[in-house]
Amino acid sequence: MRHARSAVLLKEDVMSLLPRGESKRCLVTGAAGFIGCHVARLLVEAGHEVAAIDDLSGGFLENVPEVCLFDPLSVNDSLDLLFERFRPEFVYHLAAYAAEGLSHHIPGFNYTNNLLGTANVLKTAHRWEVKHFVFTSSIAAYGHPETEEPFDELTVARPCDPYGIAKLACEQHLRAFRDYFGGPDYTIFRPHNVFGPRQNIADPYRNVVGIFFRCALQGEPMPVFGDGSQTRSFSYISMVAECIAAAPWVSAARGRVINVGGDEPMSVRRLAETIAEVMDVPCNVQELEPRAEVLHAHCRHDLAQQLFPEAYKESVGIAEGLRRTAEFVRSHPIPKPTECPCPIEIADRLPPSWAPRLDSDQ
């Protein structure tokens, strides 16, 4: 099924560094979402045929490039007809419900959407002889750090929420699947705190950068759990999407888990201040009751820089990335709020700031 969409690339989008040669057939799941749409655009720009699926529960149809073959499918739907029709050579599996904190309260939905959905896409890919499967995991797979050192790919993964557990389980399933069936080849990325144009700023439960931009636009206080001293390395989308899109062409990336993202640490409070600066509004922070979360989560990217040097050479820092994002959000209407896609399964310990929106009896 095809839909009318804009084919125009944003001027913020980095020109593709992907090899330009024989066109490949690429399927992108979650292509109406944030990272997925940028990966799809890079593939299209590099001259590849792209099929896209998304259930549109958190993404937007206008994010999907016009030239893509689009089907409004969930990753838990039967996908054989699509695979039979399109015969993808590469699959980029980016569809997920990436709400770490909320995943404690919707564990059943989390595992169905993230783990079982991945198993469904992978088994279909195998049946239709897909050559390479690119999977986006998450820094959430690491869990709480045991030292002050950034995570590297050898750090033991001990996820501390259902979302991270699902992502790690997907990684292990991919390895076991390839070892048992002999394919498809795979590359696993662990991105973290990615932001930029086309991010959903209307989701109140995930993506702190998007939440802060919406608050700045609407003149509302920016909600911070605790005192805002938590630190992350916020990562602008261009370099992250470039690495993900290029993976099937990088032989040394096969069978690897790769951290991908930025190296600049920033506290959540400083993030709020910086977004207020680029939006030219007063910085109004509302401190909320602290929640159970990793306080300082950062990764090393030596492997990604070695495998994708051109992408890292063109990387954009936090300050410039926030400026570009501000330009985008100012020129686009705020979407309707993206509510939790399922009833709350466990209301106990639900953050008070979320409780009014989340009725356990819905």
* Inside any domain, residue 43: yes
269 pLDDT band, cuts 50/70/90, is very high
Tell me the C-alpha distance between 283 and 322, whole Å: 15
* Inside any domain, residue 12: no
Tokens coding 343: 């009833």
What's the predicted TM-score (pTM) here? 0.93
Tell me the C-alpha distance between 35 and 184, whole Å: 22
* Inside any domain, residue 9: no
Output the CA torsion 142→147→150→156 (10° steps). -30
Q: Determine the residue type at 38.
A: H
Backbone φ and ψ of 126, nearest 5°: -65, -45
What angle in degrees, to the nearest 10, is found between the helix axes of 318-330 and 268-279?
50
* Inside any domain, residue 345: no
Provide the phi-psi class of 30: left if phi over 0, else alpha when psi is between -120 and 50, else beta: left
pLDDT digits (tens, 9 = 90+) for 50-95: 999 999 999 999 999 999 999 999 999 999 999 999 999 999 999 9
Tell me the C-alpha distance between 62 and 10, whole Å: 12
Name the average pLDDT for the chain. Answer: 91
Does 5 have pLDDT greater than 70?
A: no
pLDDT digits (tens, 9 = 90+) for 131-182: 999 999 999 999 988 888 899 999 999 999 999 999 999 999 999 999 999 9
Backbone φ and ψ of 259, nearest 5°: -70, 135
Tokens coding 28: 């992108």
* Inside any domain, residue 84: yes
Tokens coding 34: 């944030």
Q: Determine the residue type at 262.
A: G
The residue-averaged pLDDT of 214-243 equals 93
Domain residue limits at 59? 25-338
For residues 360 and 343, the answer to whether their CB atoms sit within 8 Å is yes
* Inside any domain, residue 305: yes
**Structural domains of the chain, count:** 1
3-state secondary structure of 203: coil
Closest CA to 168 of 246, 91, 115: 115
CATH number at residue 324: 3.40.50.720
